[in-house]
């Protein structure tokens, strides 16, 4: 039985720029994962609902606008309400280092800022999904 890692790459809020999200999506694809990209300007509810319908293992949130302190916890909360607490949540984009502990406390598994290597992101996801499935 073959089981692919399914990842939702989501862009919440008002960003109008998704180059970073697309680069990550491409890297995850090249690592053999199935990546569902939502497109721009999604609400937390829409992202959580898409994660539910697509039955993903991972939600990758890309956010550049500075609204991460509001939007990210809301997505995590909504995932929990929908019974998706075992879904791994990772965040990428422009996150000031001071905000990283805040996000980690609220259920984010990792934050990948500018300069992160896609290989690290792939390795992190692979390792953690294995753990959840085991």
- Torsion 85-86-92-94 (CA) sign: positive
Question: What is the phi/psi pair of residue 13, to 5°?
Answer: 75, -155
Binder of another protein out of 21, 28, 58, 87 (CB under 8 A)? 28
Contact 121, 28 (CB under 8 A): yes
CA distances from 79 to 4, 20, 76, 94, 119 (A): 21, 23, 5, 22, 26
82 or 100: CB nearest another protein: 82
Binding mask 4-23 for another protein (x = CB under 8 A): x-x-----------------
Residue 45 interacting with another protein (CB under 8 A): yes
Compute the distance between CA of residue 13 and CA of residue 46 in angstroms, rounded to an integer: 11
For another protein, which stretch binds (CB under 8 A), given 48-56, 65-73, 89-97, 112-120? 48-56
Residue 52 interacting with another protein (CB under 8 A): yes
Residues that bind another protein (CB under 8 A): 1-4, 6, 25-26, 28-39, 41-43, 45-46, 49-50, 52-55, 82-84
């Amino acid at each position: 039985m073959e089981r692919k890692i399914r990842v939702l790459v989501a862009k919440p809020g008002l960003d109008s720029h998704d180059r970073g999200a697309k680069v990550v999506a491409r890297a995850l694809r090249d690592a053999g994962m199935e990546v569902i990209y939502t497109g721009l300007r999604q609400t937390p509810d829409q992202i959580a609902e898409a994660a539910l319908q697509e039955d993903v293992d991972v939600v990758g949130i890309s956010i550049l606008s500075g609204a991460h302190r509001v939007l990210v916890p809301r997505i995590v909360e909504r995932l929990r309400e929908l019974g998706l607490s075992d879904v791994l949540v990772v965040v990428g984009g422009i996150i000031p280092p001071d905000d990283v502990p805040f996000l980690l406390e609220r259920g984010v598994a990792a934050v990948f800022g500018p300069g992160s290597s896609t290989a690290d992101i792939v390795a992190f996801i692979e390792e953690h999904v294995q753990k959840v499935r085991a």
